[in-house]
Amino acid sequence: MKDDILRHLRYGLGKDAAHSSVYDWRMALSRALRDRMVDHWIPSTQAAYTDNSKRVYYLSMEFLIGRLVEDMASNLGLVEEARAALAELDQDYDVIVKDEPDAALGNGGLGRLAACFMDSLATLAIPAMGYGIRYEHGLFEQDFVEGQQVERPETWLQQDHIWEFERPEVQYMIRFGGHVEHHDGRAHWHPGETVIATAFDTPVIGWKGRWGNTLRLWAALPVKVFDLASFNRGDYLAASRSESLARTICRVLYPDDTTETGKELRLKQEYFFTAASIQDLIRRFLTNNADIRDLADHAAIQLNDTHPAIAGPELIRLLVDDHGMAMAEAVTLARRCLGYTNHTLLPEALERWPEWLFGRVLPRHLEIVREIEAEHQRRFPDSPKILDSGNVCMGELAFIMAHKVNGVSALHTELVKKTVFADLHRIHPTRIVNETNGITQRRWLHTCNPALSRLITDTIGDGWITDLDQLSRLRAKSGDPAFKEAFMGAKRVNKERLSNWVNAHMGIALDPDAMFDVQIKRIHEYKRQLMNVLETIALWMDMRAHPNLDWTPRVKIFGGKAAPGYHTAKEIIRLINDVAEVINADPATKDLLKVVYPPNYNVTMAEVLIPAADLSEQISTAGKEASGTGNMKFALNGALTIGTLDGANVEIREHVGYENFFLFGLTAEQVVERRKTPGYARAAIGASPRLQEVLRLIFEGRFCPQDPGRYHGLIGMLYDHDYFLVTCDFDTYFDTQRRADEAFKHPRNWAAMALTNTASMGFFSSDRTIRGYAEDIWQVSSHPGVAEA
């Protein structure tokens, strides 16, 4: 390893050890690791090819992969070897690992899920390919200026992205616009615009390198680099128009996880990567198979939400227009290949494209959608429409074109059946299935929490790394004082690590003995960070009013970004920062309460925060969080959850035991009922003197004396249309927090509850989730030769 690092330093980077920067060392280490990855990757790729067995194609607009050096080293079992080699070269492995930018090609849960799935697919040796977009700029970087979020462009590709291999030989023409002619019994699409999709491959190596898959991300290139005639005329802008048009397509990730943007560019992005992926998988199929009618026996295409839902019409278009298949047969074949995962019930997040826009960008696809619609209406006259009030409804399209549709937690799947797709479910009663989300324990415990990982492995062996159910053997240890002490010792190490980080980056001193209470996720009204900050204020007021009570010291930690155009979410961010400033400066509570909101929450930050958490905030309005996956990461790392009966919280509580979960709040049904009661928010506020006091303080400008009216709008919203029922759940939330305070005063008891959480998380491995998809939706199996290894 040492020799390899030095060799790469010299011949890959043109440097000698004496003059190398951290960047140079990281690149050399990465190349040394990459060589080893390739040695696992190529045989896997060859085996998948010669086997000609069915493959999974996971189409996702987002892959939130984060840093890779440590992940790759860990999966290859080379962390210690790398550390030792670097030490001999007087280099610190930990420093080098931290130099890597965080690849944020996603917004939140959906993108991170895709990354966990890639890890599990490789570890389970299921031949698979992830397809997405190689965004030049990932999710924006967040900064706070006077407490307000400002967005800066993210620039991960300014440095060499060492993990990818460019594949200039893998290119496809992607066409847009123009018109369609019908003659010779065929459709002829004459596009108005064409760009080239070119592939970049990143190997994804599973545990111990026994199998490797590929993450293939597409970049756009112009068909014509520049127009020399325009250039020679002196019209330089016109000369490079085609180039800038192409580059725009993969320029940025849409920084929005809630609302349909209605932007033509987003539609083009969706079609761009979907069309490239479908062409690519058909080409791969045809190198090994003669009859296109066998495609569904070789390709399982999973749509990660509706973003790639154009895959249905695109596949049909290729089958009909290029391969001469009859329309009805093409629709059936496409459906056998496709599965669709729904991630949200929020109506504003369901994609709908104006028909005129859709038809302008994809004229041939609009014709095909009309045919799909006609055929479906013929068979099911009472079916909901894909083409509805001048819109193309991508949810309905995805549903109708998929043989299976899945929700991402038990509760969410039931709600999908009862709400968004109730009518389609009646027509196709076996189509909807549940696949509760999961997380990879390799990144979210083994790598990010070495202290706990070591303790677990010392206690039960390392089988849990590929078989998370084995953690249940820790349950017997909940009465073992020495183990409990060791368990909390690991937590303590992580809390100290976080405290040092917060002190260094934010200048706030934390007490590692305090309860670390963490809410990290996108900022959204339904996730109710607002309720958390209101509770923080109430606690602070109580602490000031009764300084001699036996308070449990708390650190309230927030992390998360708001969509740039989401005004209310940005106000909530500002309020948290204003409240933090006042509370952190209060001498009366300085040993009891701190509020910390580090900017630019991302995967890398999560890897530090989650292992250090005592309490996990999962407090969404019931019925709104499809699943959540952060909830699983916290419980796996021994945090207790304070949460509502929402998403996967419900199943987590079943697994860890009701007594090890702080439950509060209205149920999904009660939420729906409560909204029908006129004036429910005012009534809830009227019934809660504590909440009145908190709202009065904010209203009077206690947290922004220079601008006392700053939060009048936000408070008014709570009184008049508190859609997410912050006011209704506030009192029970506050009381449940005090129960958590009480429990934290009994460390041995707390330790037993915490370790029972860890011990009960086997079900929430993404390995289990992927096995479910493989069996219920994809009908694929692990590669046999490798599975035996």
Catalytic residues, by residue number, are 343, 521-522, 527, 629, 633
Distance between CA atoms of 398 and 303, rounded to whole angstroms?
A: 8
Q: Shortest CA distance to 439 belongs to which of 449, 430, 429?
A: 449
Cβ-based neighbours of 319, under 8 Å, separated by 6 or more: 292, 325, 329, 330, 333, 334
Site for ligand 26Y in 712-771 (CB under 6 A): none
Q: How far is CA 377 from CA 240, 367, 381, 428, in A?
A: 46, 15, 5, 13
> Residue 210 has which token pair?
């026994």
The residue (of 74 and 344) whose beta carbon lies closer to ligand 26Y is: 344
Q: Give me the 629-648 binding string for ligand 26Y, x by CB under 6 A, dash otherwise.
A: x-----------------x-
Distance between CA atoms of 134 and 642, rounded to whole angstroms?
A: 37
Q: Please report how close the Cβ of residue 130 comes to ligand 26Y at its closest, in angstroms.
A: 15
The residue (of 110 and 402) whose beta carbon lies closer to ligand 26Y is: 110
- H or E element, residue 230: helix 228-233
The residue (of 175 and 768) whose beta carbon lies closer to ligand 26Y is: 768
Neighbouring C-beta atoms of residue 676, cutoff 10 Å: 7
**Segment lying near ligand 26Y (by CB under 6 A), choices 101-109, 231-239, 658-666, 752-760:** 101-109
The residue (of 149 and 629) whose beta carbon lies closer to ligand 26Y is: 629
Q: Please report how close the Cβ of residue 544 comes to ligand 26Y at its closest, in angstroms.
A: 36
| 8-state DSSP, 765 | B
Site for ligand 26Y in 62-91 (CB under 6 A): none
Angle made by CA atoms 327, 328, 331, in degrees to the nearest 5: 85
Residue 302 is a binding residue for ligand 26Y (CB under 6 A): no
79-96: buried (b, 16+ CB within 10 Å) or exposed (e) per residue?
Answer: beebbebbeebebebeeb
> Residue 264 has which token pair?
């033509």
Q: Please report how close the Cβ of residue 71 comes to ligand 26Y at its closest, in angstroms.
A: 20
Rounded to the nearest 10°, the torsion over CA 45, 50, 51, 56 is 40
> Residue 491 has which token pair?
């937590």
Asked whether the beta carbons of 724 and 621 are under 8 A apart, the reply is: yes
Site for ligand 26Y in 612-631 (CB under 6 A): 625-629
Q: Please report how close the Cβ of residue 640 comes to ligand 26Y at its closest, in angstroms.
A: 20
Residue 349 is a binding residue for ligand 26Y (CB under 6 A): yes
Longest CA–CA span in the chain (Å) reads 89
Residue 395 is a binding residue for ligand 26Y (CB under 6 A): no
The residue (of 134 and 521) whose beta carbon lies closer to ligand 26Y is: 521
Residue 254 is a binding residue for ligand 26Y (CB under 6 A): yes
Angle made by CA atoms 560, 61, 633, in degrees to the nearest 5: 45
The residue (of 325 and 668) whose beta carbon lies closer to ligand 26Y is: 668
Distance between CA atoms of 83 and 96, rounded to whole angstroms?
A: 10
Q: Please report how close the Cβ of residue 622 comes to ligand 26Y at its closest, in angstroms.
A: 13
Asked whether the beta carbons of 264 and 357 are under 8 A apart, the reply is: yes
The residue (of 209 and 643) whose beta carbon lies closer to ligand 26Y is: 643
Residue 58 is a binding residue for ligand 26Y (CB under 6 A): no
Residue 109 is a binding residue for ligand 26Y (CB under 6 A): yes
Distance between CA atoms of 13 and 5, rounded to whole angstroms?
A: 11
Site for ligand 26Y in 6-35 (CB under 6 A): none
The residue (of 408 and 752) whose beta carbon lies closer to ligand 26Y is: 408
The residue (of 578 and 767) whose beta carbon lies closer to ligand 26Y is: 767
**Segment lying near ligand 26Y (by CB under 6 A), choices 252-260, 279-287, 471-479, 781-789:** 252-260
Residue 339 is a binding residue for ligand 26Y (CB under 6 A): no
Cβ-based neighbours of 312, under 8 Å, separated by 6 or more: 334, 335, 338, 372, 397, 398, 400, 401, 402
Identity of the residue numbered 407 = G
Interacting residue with ligand 26Y among 28, 59, 104, 110 (CB under 6 A)? 110
Residue nearest ligand 26Y by beta-carbon distance = 109
Residue 408 is a binding residue for ligand 26Y (CB under 6 A): yes
Computed from CA positions of residues 596, 602, 604, 609, in that sequence, does the dihedral angle turn out positive or negative?
positive
- H or E element, residue 117: helix 109-123
Distance between CA atoms of 208 and 2, rounded to whole angstroms?
A: 20
427-439: buried (b, 16+ CB within 10 Å) or exposed (e) per residue?
Answer: bbeebbebbbbbb
**Segment lying near ligand 26Y (by CB under 6 A), choices 108-116, 197-205, 328-336, 708-716:** 108-116
- H or E element, residue 341: strand 338-341
Residue 113 is a binding residue for ligand 26Y (CB under 6 A): yes
The residue (of 772 and 785) whose beta carbon lies closer to ligand 26Y is: 772
The residue (of 614 and 646) whose beta carbon lies closer to ligand 26Y is: 646
Q: How far apart are the first and last CA of the chain?
A: 25
Q: Please report how close the Cβ of residue 455 comes to ligand 26Y at its closest, in angstroms.
A: 28
**Segment lying near ligand 26Y (by CB under 6 A), choices 36-44, 49-57, 344-352, 599-607:** 344-352
- H or E element, residue 64: strand 63-66
Residue 343 is a binding residue for ligand 26Y (CB under 6 A): yes
Residues binding ligand 26Y: number (CB under 6 A): 22
Burial class (CB in 10 A: 0-12, 13-18, 19+), 479: exposed
Cβ-based neighbours of 318, under 8 Å, separated by 6 or more: 278, 279, 282
Interacting residue with ligand 26Y among 102, 351, 525, 571 (CB under 6 A)? 351
DSSP annotation string for 406-450: EESSHHHHHHHHHTTTHHHHHHSTTTEEE----B-HIIIIIIT-H
Q: Please report how close the Cβ of residue 629 comes to ligand 26Y at its closest, in angstroms.
A: 5
**Segment lying near ligand 26Y (by CB under 6 A), choices 105-113, 368-376, 459-467, 669-677:** 105-113
Q: Please report how close the Cβ of residue 117 comes to ligand 26Y at its closest, in angstroms.
A: 10
Residue 576 is a binding residue for ligand 26Y (CB under 6 A): no
Residue 108 is a binding residue for ligand 26Y (CB under 6 A): yes
Residue 494 is a binding residue for ligand 26Y (CB under 6 A): no
The residue (of 120 and 629) whose beta carbon lies closer to ligand 26Y is: 629
Interacting residue with ligand 26Y among 154, 164, 257, 435 (CB under 6 A)? 257
Place of tokens 């960008």: 361
Q: Give me the 646-685 binding string for ligand 26Y, x by CB under 6 A, dash otherwise.
A: -x--------------------------------------
Residue 405 is a binding residue for ligand 26Y (CB under 6 A): no
Interacting residue with ligand 26Y among 60, 91, 107, 757 (CB under 6 A)? 107
Q: Please report how close the Cβ of residue 785 comes to ligand 26Y at its closest, in angstroms.
A: 32
Site for ligand 26Y in 443-462 (CB under 6 A): none
DSSP annotation string for 450-466: HHHHHHHHHHH-SGGGT
The residue (of 60 and 202) whose beta carbon lies closer to ligand 26Y is: 60
Site for ligand 26Y in 305-324 (CB under 6 A): none
Q: Which residues bind ligand 26Y (CB under 6 A)?
A: 107-110, 113, 254, 256-257, 260-261, 343-344, 349, 351, 408, 437, 625-629, 647
